[in-house]
Amino acid sequence: MPRPTDTRSDQDLVEICNRGDGDAAAAAFNALYLRHRDFVLRVALRLTPDRELAVDALQDVFTYLLRQFPPPGPGLTLSARLTTYLYPIARHSTLSLLRKARRIDFAELEPDALAAPAGDADGADDLDRLLASLPPERREILSLRFVDDLSLEDIARALDIPLGTVKSRLHLAIKALREHPAARNFFRP
C-alpha cells in the first residue's frame, strides 16, 4: 500500500530537520527524500545514461543534504524552492562521479553538457533528436522549465546565471525547436 503523502511544506520539513529533534527530524528528512528523489534522479539521468551511476549521485545528494542539518551541520535556510537548491548539487555530484569513473572524456564534461535524452515511446526518438540538436545550455534550460517546472527565477538561481540569460536561452531554444524541420510533428502553427 502506498505511503501517505506528507502535506507539510518543504520549508516546514527543513525547519524540523534544523531542530534536530530525533524521530521528528528523521521523519521530516524521509519526507523530503520521498518528495524530491525522482527530481534528483531525473537530473542525474540527463547527465549520464548509466542508471547505477545516477543512483549513486542520488545517494550523494541526499547524504550531502543530511550533513547540512544538525548536529553535524549548521542547518539549512531555504531562500528558494528546495529543487533550486538540489539541482546544482545533483549536477555537480553526477559530473564528479562521471569523472571518477572515467566513463566519458574530460572534454565532454563542460559545465552545461547534458546527455541526450533516451527515447522509449512513439515519436520519442524524433523528439530526442530534435532536443539533441540544441546546444546543451539551451536544452538544460528547457528541461528545467518544462520537465522540472522551475520558474525562470529558480532556474537562474540554480544555474547561478542572470535571469536575462535564462530568458534569452529559453527564447532561443523554443525558436530553434519551432524552426527545425522535424518540429512539424510536435508544433502546430
Q: Which numeric CATH code is attached to 8-107?
A: 1.10.1740.10
What's the rounded Cα separation, in Å, for the pair 113 and 121?
Answer: 24
- pLDDT given for residue 80 in this prediction: 87
Domain ranges (residues) in the chain: 8-107, 110-189
* Closest listed residue to residue 20, CA positions, set 33, 29, 31, 11: 29
| Residue at 40: amino acid letter | V
- pLDDT given for residue 119 in this prediction: 44
- pLDDT given for residue 182 in this prediction: 65
Residues 6+ apart with CB under 8 A from 119: 125, 126, 127, 128
Task: Say yes or no: domain 110-189 is CATH 1.10.10.10.
Answer: yes
The secondary structure of residue 121, as a DSSP letter, is S
Handedness of CA 151, 152, 153, 155 (dihedral sign): positive
Specify burial of residue 140 (Cβ count, 10 A radius: 0-12, 13-18, 19+).
buried
Please determine whether the domains at 8-107 and 110-189 fall in the same fold group of CATH: no
What's the rounded Cα separation, in Å, for the pair 135 and 46?
Answer: 14
| Residue at 8: amino acid letter | R
- pLDDT given for residue 6 in this prediction: 85
Lookup: cell for 14: 527543513
Instruction: Report, as ranges of residue numbers, the positions in the chain whose pLDDT lies below 70.
Output: 1-4, 102-127, 182-189
The secondary structure of residue 143, as a DSSP letter, is I
- pLDDT given for residue 69 in this prediction: 92
Q: Could you tell me the pTM of the whole model?
A: 0.69
Number of neighbours of residue 188 by Cβ within 10 angstroms: 6
What's the rounded Cα separation, in Å, for the pair 53 and 44?
Answer: 8
